[in-house]
Structure 1
Amino acid sequence: MSSPSSNPHASAWMRTPERSNMAMLRVMTWISLRLGRPAGRVVLHFIAAYFLLFAPASRRASKAYLRRALGRPVTWADLYRHFFSFAATIHDRIYLINQRFDLFDIEIQGQAALHDARAGDDGLFLIGAHMGSFEVIRALGRQIPGLHVSMVMHEDNAMKINAMLAAINPQASTDIIGLGRIDSMLRVRDKLNQGAMVGMLADRSIGDDALLPTPLLGGVAYLPTGSFRMAALLRRRVVFMVGLYLGGNRYQINFEPLADFSQTPAGQRGAEVEAAVQRYAALLDQYARQAPYNWFNFFDFWQAPAAVSDTQPK
Structure 2
Amino acid sequence: MADSGKHWSGVGEAGSLLGMRILLFAYRLFGRWGFRLILLPVISYFYLTRKQARQASAEYLTRLSATFPHCIKKGMTSRQHFWTFGEILLDKLLVWMGHIRRDDVVFETPVAFSELDQSNQGGVILVSHLGNTEVCSALAHQLPDIRVTMLVYTQHAEKFNTLMKQTNSNASINLMQVTDMSPATAMILSERVDAGEYVVIAADRTPVSGAKRTSAVEFLGATASMPQGAFILAGLLRCPVYLMFCLKQEQKYHIYLERFATQLSFNRRHRSEQIQSAVQNYAKRLEHYCQIAPLQWFNFFPFWKSEQPASNPINETLS
Distance change in 2, residues 1:197/1:214 (3 Å): same
Match of 2:216 among 213, 217, 224: 213
1:202 aligns with 2:197: no
Q: Which runs of 4+ in 1 moved over 6 A?
A: 72-76
- The answer as to whether partners of 1:158 and 1:178 remain within 8 angstroms in 2 is no
Aligned to 1:137: 136
Letter in 1 for 2:89: I
Pick from 6, 15, 34 the counterpart of residue 10 of structure 2: 15
Change in CA separation of 1:161 and 1:121 when aligned onto 2, cut-off 3 Å: farther
**In the alignment, is the contact (CA less than 8 A) between 1:110 and 1:254 conserved in 2?**
yes
Give the superposition deviation at 1:67. Answer: 0.3
Do the aligned partners of residues 167 and 234 (structure 1) sit closer, same or farther apart at CA in structure 2, a change above 3 Å counting? same
**2:316 is matched with which residue?**
none
Residue of structure 2 equivalent to 1:35: 30
Partner of 2:285: 283
Distance in 1 of aligned mates of 2:44 and 2:157? 28
Identify which of 246, 263, 271 aligns with 1:243: 246
* Partner of residue 254, structure 2: 252
Equivalent position SS for 1:121: coil
Q: 233-242 vs 74-83, which deviates more?
A: 74-83
Q: 2:26·2:38 contact (CA, 8 Å) conserved in 1?
A: no
Identify the residue that residue 223 of structure 1 maps to in structure 2: 226
| Range with bigger deviation, 127-136 or 178-187 | 178-187
Q: 1:80 to 1:158 in 2, by over 3 A?
A: closer
Partner of 1:89: 88
Is 1:111 aligned to 2:106, yes or no?
Answer: no
> 5+ unaligned residues in a row in structure 2: which ranges?
307-319
Q: CA deviation at 1:200?
A: 0.4
Instruction: Note if contact 1:117-1:239 (Cα within 8 Å) is conserved in structure 2.
Output: no
In structure 2, the residue corresponding to 1:126 is in which secondary structure? strand
Matched, 1:191 2:192: yes
Task: Name the stretch that deviates more: 147-156 or 284-293.
Answer: 147-156
Q: Residues 239-282 of structure 1: CA distance to partner in whole angstroms, max 9, x if unpaired?
A: 111111235x32211112212226x3744655443322111000
* Whole-angstrom CA distance in 1 between matches of 2:266 and 2:302: 37
Secondary structure class of the residue paired with 1:203:
coil
Q: CA shift at 1:220, angstroms?
A: 0.7
Paired residue type of 1:246:
Q
Alpha-carbon spacing, 1:283–1:234, altered in 2? closer, same or farther (3 Å): same
Contact kept, 8 Å, 2:193 with 2:237, in 1: the verdict is: no
TM-score of the pair, normalised by structure 2? 0.82
**Aligned-pair CA distance for 1:158:** 7.0
Structure 1 stretch 148-157 or stretch 160-169: which is displaced more? 160-169
What TM-score do the two structures reach when normalised by structure 1? 0.83
**Range with bigger deviation, 207-216 or 116-125:** 116-125
CA, structure 1 residues 127+32, in 2 after alignment: closer, same or farther (shift >3 Å)? same
Contact 1:228 1:273 in 2 (8 A): yes
Distance 1:60 1:159, change over 3 A: closer
**Aligned residue for 1:5?**
none
CA apart distance, 1:113: 2.2
Contact (CA 8 Å) 1:177, 1:188: kept in 2 or not?
no
**Structure 1: tracts of 5 or more residues without a match:** 1-9, 305-314
Contact 1:205 1:224 in 2 (8 A): yes
Aligned counterparts of 2:263 and 2:123: Cα–Cα separation in 1: 10
Please report the RMSD computed on the Cα atoms of aligned residues, expressed in angstroms: 2.7
Give the distance between the partners of 1:254 and 1:90, measured in 2 at CA: 20
Amino acid at match of 2:227: P
Q: Could you tell me how far apart the structure 2 residues matched to 1:80 and 1:232 are? A: 40
Q: Deviation digits for residues 116-160 of structure 1, max 9, x if unmatched?
A: 355431211110111110111122322223122211123524755
Contact 2:121 2:195 in 1 (8 A): yes
Counterpart of 1:254 in 2: which secondary structure? strand
**Which residue is 2:97 aligned to?**
98
The one-letter amino acid paired with 2:133 is F
Deviates further, 98-107 or 155-164: 155-164
